[in-house]
C-alpha cells in the first residue's frame, strides 16, 4: 500500500508544482508524477536532516520541503524534456 500512496502523493505534488511554475510545461503527466515522487523523497530527506520530519499534528515544514523540491525537480526535468524534444525534431528534419 505504500507504493500506492507514493504515486498519489507524487501525482499531487507534481500537479501543484506544474501549477506554480510560470509558463507552459511540456512534460507528460507520467513524468510529472515521477518528479513529484522524487520531490517527496527529497523533501523527506531534507526534513529528516533538519530534524523537523516528525512534529505534532500536520508536518507543515516537511510538506513545504516536499513541495519546493518537487517544484525544482519538475522545472529542471521539464527544461531537459523540452531540450531533448527539440533535438529530436532537428534530427527528423535532417
d(CA 57, CA 54): 9
Taking the whole predicted model, whether its pTM rises above 0.75 is answered as yes
For residues 78-90, average pLDDT:
78
To 10 degrees, the CA torsion angle through 37, 13, 6, 4? -130
Please name which of 2, 72, 83 lies closest in space to residue 35, comparing C-alpha atoms.
72
CB 29 within 8 A of CB 84: no
pLDDT in tens, 71-83: 999 999 999 998 8
User: Which three cell numbers, joined as nine digits, stand for 66?
Assistant: 516536499
How many structural domains comprise the chain? Answer: 1
pLDDT in tens, 4-51: 888 899 999 999 999 999 988 888 999 999 999 999 999 989 989 998
Amino acid at each position: 500500500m505504500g507504493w500506492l500512496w507514493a504515486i498519489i502523493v507524487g501525482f499531487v505534488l507534481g500537479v501543484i508544482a506544474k501549477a506554480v511554475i510560470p509558463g507552459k510545461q511540456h512534460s507528460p503527466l507520467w513524468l510529472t508524477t515521477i518528479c513529484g515522487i522524487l520531490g517527496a523523497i527529497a523533501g523527506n530527506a531534507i526534513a529528516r536532516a533538519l530534524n523537523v520530519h516528525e512534529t505534532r499534528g500536520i508536518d507543515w515544514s516537511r510538506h513545504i520541503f516536499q513541495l519546493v523540491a518537487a517544484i525544482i525537480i519538475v522545472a529542471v526535468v521539464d527544461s531537459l524534456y523540452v531540450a531533448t524534444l527539440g533535438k529530436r525534431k532537428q534530427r527528423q528534419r535532417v
